[in-house]
Amino acid sequence: MNLKFQVYFDDKKKETGTMICLGIEGTAHSFGVGIIREEADQVDILSNVRSVYTPERGGIHPREAAQHLGKVIKDVIKKAIETAEIRLSDIDLVAFAQGPGLGPCLRTSATGARALSLLIDAPLVGVNHCVAHAEIGKLITDAEDPVILYVSGANTIVSALEGRRYRVFGETLDIAIGNMLDTFAREVGLQHPGGPKIEKLAKKGKKLIDLPYIVKGMDLSFSGLLTAT
């Protein structure tokens, strides 16, 4: 967090003792809005609302996903505020996922975040998508100084916090595990997103099939696993 926003936070906390942040996530097929309240050392999640774009067939098309985000952005923000039982004027800060993600989706969600911050005259903070996942995991598990295996559709990373920055100790050398599962799902006719559907089917499985994957130090490779499946 840069100095300007740190000064803003400090002044606001001295004034009210409470900070309310609305966060917007629109990096791919989901558009989500979360609202948290920070008071002293306590952080409460007031609402977590999302709308998911599901293509009729195949994988995510960035332009179509962005169009879906544009259609639902107003309603999702409204529902998040209603669920949190706050007023629009209560929001002290607007945050948004700045990347990584799909370009058209990032632009759409960033535009919405900027418009909201201007409307309520609240600071706007861009957040790294991967760091946000790690920080949310720490928040809901009360973990201290964890080594994190971050697995999502487009990222597979082994990371930990060192010197106030997340350091990458290992990562995928080709495709992420989520991307691999979705690609396999399309090949066998399962609708996107494929990961949850594959997991559900796997729980019914009776036979363990030996499939190859590669570990090089702390780096990983999954393209051979995809080819074998």
Q: What CATH number corresponds to the domain at position 121? A: 3.30.420.40
Shared-domain flag, residues 19 and 123: yes
The region that residue 163 occupies, defined by phi over 0 for left and psi between -120 and 50 for alpha, beta otherwise, is left
Least confident of 56-65, 121-130, 210-219: 56-65
Domain boundary pick from 128, 161, 181: 128
For 58-97, b/e burial (b = at least 16 CB within 10 A) is: eebeeeebbebbbebbeebbebbbeebebeeebbbbbbbb
Same domain, 16 and 122: yes
Residue 23: which of 90, 72, 77 has the closest Cα? Answer: 77
| Residue 108 sits in the same domain as residue 9 | yes
Could you give the CA distance from residue 164 to residue 162 in angstroms, rounded to a whole number?
A: 5
Confidence of residue 1 (pLDDT cuts 50, 70, 90): very low
The verdict on 16 and 58 lying in the same domain is yes
Domain count, the chain: 2
What pLDDT is attached to residue 153?
A: 77
Q: Does residue 51 share a domain with residue 109?
A: yes
Are 116 and 40 found together in one domain? yes
Please indicate, yes or no, whether residues 99 and 181 belong to a single structural domain of this protein. no
Per-residue pLDDT band at 2 (split at 50, 70, 90):
very low
Residues 180 and 106 placed together within one structural domain of the fold = no
133 within some domain: no
Question: Which residue, of 72, 101, 128, is where some domain finishes?
Answer: 128
Check residue 5 and give its pLDDT.
54
Q: Which residues contact 120 (CB under 8 A, 6 or more apart)?
A: 88, 89, 91, 94
Residue with tokens 């803003």: 8
C-alpha R_g of the chain: 20
Within-domain flag for 40: yes
Domain with 190 in it: 147-228
Same domain, 41 and 77: yes
Same domain, 80 and 33: yes
pTM of the model: 0.78
**Encoded tokens for 102:** 């799909």
In a domain, 18, yes or no: yes
Residue 81 has pLDDT above 80, yes or no: yes
Residue 84 shares a structural domain with residue 188: no
Domain assignment present for residue 52? The answer is: yes
Point out the least confidently predicted range of 47-51, 54-58, 207-211: 54-58
Task: Indicate whether 17 and 69 sit together in one domain.
Answer: yes
Identify whether 142 is part of a domain: no
